[in-house]
Amino acid sequence: MTVASELSFFASADGDLAYLDTGSGDPVVLLHSGYVDHRVWHAQIPALAAAYRVIAPDVRGHGSSANATEPYRWADDLAGLLRHLDAGPAVLVGLSMGGLITTNTALEYPDLVRAVVTCGAATGEFRYTDAWTREIQAEMARTLAAGDIEGWLKAFLRGVAGEHRTSDDIDQDIARRLRGMAVGTLSKHTPGEKDWFVPVTDTFARAPEIDVPLLTLNGGLEPAAMLDAAERLARTVRHGRAETVEGVGHYPNLEKPEVFNRVLLDFLHAL
């Protein structure tokens, strides 16, 4: 089959939001990680579109979507898109930031969510406590504030690799793809601009409200605190379970796409 590659645009109340819509069948929404865009799912879109309708948005402020000019929540943006496309209830699959969007939306708009897969994320209240991750986060914040894009990219790729690897251990095609997407998103913003994002609060306390199948699917090289938080989420919801992809870090969908796709498709087929 031919997989569509041309983006469509949803006219939200605060600018156009870009999304890819391809395939047919039950809807599966792919929500990317921070700083990149829908293309982070390039190895998943054709595999899923063979049997499902795949919707892959660019989150507000990322990729080809408009920047915010007023307060917004991720869940509200996604709910508006799904209603525009008459695509709910959908399976939400999210990576890192996208993982938070899945749980936020399941809590705020349960009628639009059929199941949740969250990768490299737990809930919005999770905070990394290990020294290595906090060092990476501090370096990313420092270089971004200074406008040092190359320094920021180095810190970003260190985070992708994980604590026990270097950026040289990442396949260089993956690194190139991530760099390209991140530079594109960063170019949309200026240091010190107003952050209009409004978080959904008390998400872990409300997690038992999630009454749909939930899978946490993480790279085995994630920091222990991240894996513990994901397993805790899986235990807290009624229909949750946790799996890991061994030997990879924050982007299991890129580093071991065949394994990631198999686990994801098995989950979808069982719904």
Distance of alpha carbon 25 from alpha carbon 140, whole angstroms: 40
Distance of alpha carbon 159 from alpha carbon 137, whole angstroms: 8
pLDDT of amino acid 202: 92
Distance of alpha carbon 20 from alpha carbon 4, whole angstroms: 8
Tokens of 256: 């071991």
Query: Do 254 and 225 form a contact (C-beta atoms < 8 A)?
Result: no
- What's this model's pTM, rounded to 2 decimal places? 0.96
pLDDT of amino acid 129: 74
Query: Do 55 and 7 form a contact (C-beta atoms < 8 A)?
Result: no
pLDDT of amino acid 2: 57
pLDDT of amino acid 3: 63
Which residues have CB under 8 Å from 180's CB, separation 6+? none
Picking from 215, 223, 252, 206, the residue whose alpha carbon sits closest to that of residue 44 is 252
In 43-158, where do the E strands start and end? 53-57, 90-95, 113-119
With pLDDT > 90 as the criterion, what percentage of the chain qualifies?
Answer: 82
* Higher pLDDT, residue 3 or 187: 187
- Stretch among 53-62, 92-101, 187-196 having the lowest mean pLDDT: 187-196
Please give the domain boundaries of the chain with CATH numbers for all domains.
Answer: 8-128+195-269 (3.40.50.1820), 131-186 (no CATH)
CA distances from 182 to 36, 40, 61, 152, 241 (A): 5, 10, 12, 10, 31
Instruction: Tell whether the model's pLDDT for residue 124 goes beyond 80.
Output: no
